[in-house]
Amino acid sequence: MNSPCRSVEDYIISSQMKEITHFIHQKLTSLIRRYHLFSPHEKIVLGVSGGTDSLALAHILAHLAPKLQLQIHIATLNHGLRPEAEGETQVVATFARGVNLPYTIGRVDVLGLQHAEKLTLEEAARKARYDFFAQIAGQIGATTIVTAHHQDDQAETILFHLIRGTGGAGAIGMDVISPAPYHPHLRLVRPLLTTTRAELEAYCHENGLNPVYDPSNDNILITRNAIRHHVLPMLARLNPQITSALARFADIYAEEQNALQIILNDTILPHIRRDGDVFYIPRHLFRGWHVAYQRRLFAQLLTIPNITYDHINHAIQVGMTGENGAIAQFSGGWQLRVLYDDLILENIHTPKIPNQKILLPQNSHIRIQTGIVYNFGAWQLSIDRIPSDDNSRQIVIPKGAQLLIRTRQPKDRFAPLGMNGKHQTVKDWMIHHKIPQDLRAKIPLVVVNDQIAVILWDTNYFVSYHFSPIKNEVLLQNQFFINTKINESG
C-alpha cells in the first residue's frame, strides 16, 4: 500500500495553482461563505477514512485552514471488519502528520454493536462512526463534525429513498448542514455536496494523493453499491449530467418542503396538543387540511424509521372517515386512534404513568370540610384559604355550607362558565369534554349545598358559574382555593 504522505512543502499549493485544484478550492470557499459553514477559530472534527473523498477533503481543508482560521482535528475509525483497516488508519495518521494536523485513531467492534443493538451492519457502522466523532468533539471542545459526502453520494441517497418510496424530507437527500446522527446537539457539515466523485479523483491525481480502496464498495448486494455501479451508470447514458440533475432536484424540492414546513408551523402545529408522548389532533380541523399537510404532520410527529406511504395513507383514511375507536397502526408501537372529535396519536409501548387521573370509586359519597387534606388513594384534595401551587383554582363557598365529594348521580346538572349561569346535564358536559365512557362514573364532583361546584377531570378544575369569583356577589362570600395533588407514593 502506497502512502499518500509526502513532505509538508509538497502540500502547500503554490501561486501557480493547478486547474482542478484551483477550481475546487474556489468552489468550496464560495460554498463555505454562502452557507456560513464555519466560524473563525472554530474547532472541527474531520472524519477521514483514507478513501478518495475524505482524503481529498482533508487536503483541501488543510490548505484553506489558515485563510478560514479553522482548527482541524482528524478522526479515523477502524471498524474491525477487514484486516486491511489497521493499515488504512495508519495511512490517515501519516497524512495528518504530513500536514501538521492533530488526529485520533479509534477502534470499535461493529459486529458486536450490530448484535447488541439489533442493527443492520450498515447501521451499526454508521452509529459507531458518529459516536466516535462525537466523543472526539467532546474531548476537544468542538461542536461541528465534517464529512466528505459528495454530489454522487447525494444522487445515490436520493435514488435510494425514491426506490423505497420515501416522500417528504426523505426525498431531499442530505443537507449541507444538519444535526449529527445520534448526536443532534452537534452540527454535521458536508462541504462537498456540490463536488462530484470524478472531480475528487482528479484532485487526488493532480496533487499526488494515493487514497486507500475499500473492496466492500464493490459488493453489489448492498443496495447503495448496486445504485452506484449499475443504476447511476445506466441513467448517465440517458443524461450524462445525472448527478447534477438530481442535485438540482434536491435543491428545488428542499425549498418547496421548507415552504410547506413554514405553513405547517404557523397554521397546523398550534392546534396540536401534546401530553408527554401523546398528541391530540382536532378531528374537525384535520378533515379540512390538505392531504399534503396531513402527510407531513404524521411524518413530523412520528420521528420513527421505516414509516411508509401506506401507513400514512391508512392513518389519513382513519382520521377522515373512521368511527369512534377506529385505529391505524404504524411501526414501533405507534397508532392513531379516533376518540370522538379528537385523533389520538400515541405509542402503546410507552409506559403509562399510573394514577395520573383523579378518580374515585363508583358511587363514592364523602363529607369534607375546609382546611383539611383528604387522601383518596393515589391523590389528595383540600379546600383551603391558601393555594398549594400555581394550578390551584379559586372558588367561593357560602358560610356554613355543607361540602361533600362524590361521583355522578342520575340527573346531575352543572353550570359551566361561559353559559351565564345556565345548566346542562353532567352527562352532556362529559360527552362534550370527550371523557371516556368507562371513566364517567368515577369523576370526582365537589358538591356545595347540594349543587355541583367543581368537576375534577384529569387534574383540571371546572368551576361552576355559581361558585366562581366572576360573580359580583362573591365579594360577600368566603373565598377558598381547591387544591389537588397526585401522591408520589400513591
pLDDT of residue 207: 94
Averaged pLDDT, 479-485: 87
- Where residue 61 falls among pLDDT bands split at 50, 70, 90? very high
pLDDT of residue 13: 43
Strands across the sheet containing 103-107: 103-107, 71-78, 43-47, 144-146, 183-189, 177-180
Could you tell me which of 209, 208, 170 has the C-alpha nearest to residue 53?
Answer: 209
Indicate whether 133 pLDDT > 90.
yes
- Where residue 119 falls among pLDDT bands split at 50, 70, 90? confident
Could you tell me which of 161, 156, 175 has the C-alpha nearest to residue 309?
Answer: 161
305 vs 490, higher pLDDT: 305
Distance CA 115, CA 118 (A): 5
Distance CA 181, CA 183 (A): 5
pLDDT of residue 1: 43
* Angle of helix 242-263 versus helix 291-301 axis, rounded to 10: 90
- Percent of the chain residues past pLDDT 90, beyond the cut: 54
* pLDDT single digits (tens) 232-261: 999 999 999 999 898 888 888 888 888 988
* pLDDT single digits (tens) 402-426: 999 999 999 999 999 878 889 999 9
* pLDDT single digits (tens) 327-363: 999 988 899 999 878 899 998 887 654 446 788 988 9
Q: Which residue has the cell 453520494?
A: 153
The residues of the chain that CATH labels 3.30.465.60 are 273-347
Q: Which CATH superfamily is domain 8-252 in?
A: HUPs (3.40.50.620)
Distance CA 363, CA 166 (A): 53
Distance CA 366, CA 376 (A): 10
The whole-chain average pLDDT of the chain stands at 87
pTM over 0.85: no
Indicate whether 222 pLDDT > 80.
no
Distance CA 269, CA 297 (A): 8
pLDDT of residue 170: 52
User: 273-347: which CATH number, 3.30.465.60, 3.10.50.40, 3.40.1350.10, 3.30.70.360?
Assistant: 3.30.465.60
* pLDDT single digits (tens) 355-387: 467 889 889 999 999 999 998 877 889 999 888
pLDDT of residue 168: 57
The residues of the chain that CATH labels 3.40.50.620 are 8-252
pLDDT of residue 356: 60
